[in-house]
Amino acid sequence: MKLQLWRNATLLLNINETSILIDPMLGEKGSLGTFPMTDNDLQNPLLDLPFNREELIEKLQTIDAVAITHLHPDHWDPTAIELMDKTTTILCPAVISEQIEKQGFQNIIAIEDHIFWNNIDISITEGQHGTGEIGDRMGTVNGFVFKKENQSVYIVGDSIWYKGIENEISKHQPQHIIVAGGAATFTMGDPIIMTSEDIIKVCQYAPQAKIWVTHLEAVSHCKEDRAFIQEKINGKKYENQCFIPKDGEEVHLD
């Protein structure tokens, strides 16, 4: 398996000869405008993709499937909807499949729990996108576990650390866990994705796994950047277990 972080939660996962694009936010810098309930007027996304539009189009032509955890615009934006071929295989939780179909996509695999696709074992996992009223407003979110022979990667999606994540790790025993960091917070409520403290809890709960932190420095409501999280990881001596890839960086999931 290979993984490339494009930006935010957008990842390219290569499993043998299969390329799966996860949570594509493909618009140019500022294309989504300001986000509601934030304490700033920053235009999202805050930065461009690490390659130009021509290179993006070339990359999209090699994609075998798109996996979507939920439909917030920093995970599935209008540019992705426009650029993706409508015959592309879409892997998604069943709860959002009808909305994606209304966007014109013709080859949707709606997953209730678990499927076997293209010789890859794919499971849907649960998540919690915040607590209290803001958590309710953020709606249902999910993640994915991809397994191929003796390799496995768990993409948590937009979730805080809570009992459900413990349960998924215990159930699937992934070798790699990809979390959404950044402590994204609105003007009401607590963080809606993982804080650095949450990330440390993942490391502690899953000492057998390598942890990869994404969702950083690309959207305006994230409060923790790479340097801050790296300092916290180093302080707890998890720098050999927990890693923060740069945008555009490709890593091998050994």
Determine the pLDDT at residue 39. 87
- From the list 118, 138, 120, 240, the residue with the least C-alpha distance to 180 is 138
DSSP class of 206: -
| CB-based burial label for 214 (10 Å; 0-12, 13-18, 19+) | buried
CB 197 within 8 A of CB 183: no
pTM of the model: 0.97
What values do phi and psi take at 151, rounded to 5? Answer: -110, 145
Chain-centroid distance, C-alpha 226: 16
**pLDDT tens for each residue of the chain, 254 residues long:** 999 999 999 999 999 999 999 999 999 999 999 999 998 999 999 999 999 999 999 999 999 999 999 999 999 999 999 999 999 999 999 999 999 999 999 999 999 999 999 999 999 999 999 999 999 999 999 999 999 998 999 999 999 999 999 999 999 999 999 999 999 999 999 999 999 999 999 999 999 999 999 999 999 999 999 999 999 999 999 999 999 999 999 999 98
